[in-house]
């Protein structure tokens, strides 16, 4: 029987998926490649070192390649590939290039005619989608949403009317604000799921409407762990003038004219000036 280190491997760049939590969620082929390559390009040598140690693989040369890597690091890896070396690209967790660095390296390697192949495996996006119990026939991945409120709301508006399920990565400290913005922009009754610590001991999937999820985490506080938010398809709704006026009156009880108009414009899709003028008339 061949050992991991004895498996023959052709020169080239190998995109290797790694576990997203449970260290056993890695393919036999991935282990074979990691044991046979000449170098591994990784985000954090400590994280990759722990994975290799857990599977009894003697670490080859580890090269730091992350969001902060300069062209020099990429050029060095390309030089190794051009010399016939075998290099694996991994992320700290999951599938490389999915909200992780690496696409420029793949692009440049392919432009040079070098061999590039992918080893599929664990992926937080697809795992969350499976567990969300929301439609999976059509979905869009938003990556990490912007940290600032306005930028985040602007991105959500771009996706508001796109058919299908939406998936986004988020951090614990930003979850409450993100859910609040999603409720405002995408609609309070839109079905969603907040998944965290996927494949780990404290894995959690919480399903509800966006409004109820926002209220729950606002009360419970920010959760720990890595988070994926899955948002079900929205229903195209037509708002009558009576609907808009009713919503404005409701909001004007607590908000200023400007803020009430802005929220109604976000919720209904009407022009902000139109909402503002209507709010002024109702306020008077």
* pLDDT tens-digit map of 198-232: 999 999 999 999 999 999 999 999 999 999 999 99
**86-89 and 12-16 as β-strands: parallel, antiparallel, unpaired?**
parallel
Percent of the chain at pLDDT exceeding 70: 97
State the DSSP H helix or E strand holding residue 242, giving kind and residue range, or none if neither: helix 241-252
Distance separating alpha carbons of residues 168 and 228, to the nearest angstrom: 6
pLDDT of 133:
97
Distance separating alpha carbons of residues 203 and 193, to the nearest angstrom: 13
* pLDDT tens-digit map of 85-138: 999 999 999 999 988 889 999 999 999 999 999 999 999 999 999 999 999 999
* pLDDT tens-digit map of 255-276: 888 888 888 888 787 888 888 8
Higher-pLDDT residue of 197 and 3 is 197
Cβ(60)–Cβ(88) below 8 Å: no
- Angstrom distances, CA of residue 115 to CA of 30, 66, 79, 109, 118: 17, 21, 13, 7, 10
């Amino acid at each position: 029987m061949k050992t991991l280190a004895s498996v023959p491997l052709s020169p080239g760049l190998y995109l290797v998926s790694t576990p997203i939590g449970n260290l056993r969620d890695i393919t036999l082929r991935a282990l074979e490649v990691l044991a046979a390559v000449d170098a591994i390009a990784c985000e954090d040598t400590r994280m990759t070192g722990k994975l290799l140690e857990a599977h009894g693989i003697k670490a080859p040369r580890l090269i730091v390649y992350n969001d902060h890597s300069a062209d020099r690091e990429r050029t060095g890896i390309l030089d190794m590939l051009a010399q016939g070396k075998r290099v694996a690209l991994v992320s700290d967790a999951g599938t490389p290039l999915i909200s992780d660095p690496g696409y420029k390296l793949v692009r440049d390697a392919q432009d040079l005619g070098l061999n590039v192949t992918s080893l599929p495996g664990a992926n937080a996006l697809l795992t969350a989608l499976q567990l969300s119990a929301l439609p999976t026939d059509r979905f869009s991945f938003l990556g990490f949403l912007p940290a600032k409120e306005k930028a985040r709301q602007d991105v959500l508006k771009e996706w508001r009317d796109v058919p299908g399920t939406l998936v986004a990565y988020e951090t614990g400290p930003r979850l409450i604000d993100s859910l609040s913005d999603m409720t405002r922009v995408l609609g309070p009754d839109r079905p969603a799921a907040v998944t965290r610590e996927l494949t780990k001991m404290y894995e959690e999937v919480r399903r509800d409407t966006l409004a109820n999820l926002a209220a729950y985490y606002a009360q419970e506080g920010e959760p720990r762990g890595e988070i994926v938010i899955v948002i079900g398809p929205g229903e195209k709704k037509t708002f009558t003038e009576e609907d808009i006026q009713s919503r404005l009156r409701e909001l004007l009880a607590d908000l200023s004219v400007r803020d009430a108009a802005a929220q109604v414009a976000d919720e209904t899709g009407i022009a902000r000036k139109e909402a503002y003028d209507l709010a002024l008339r109702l306020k008077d």
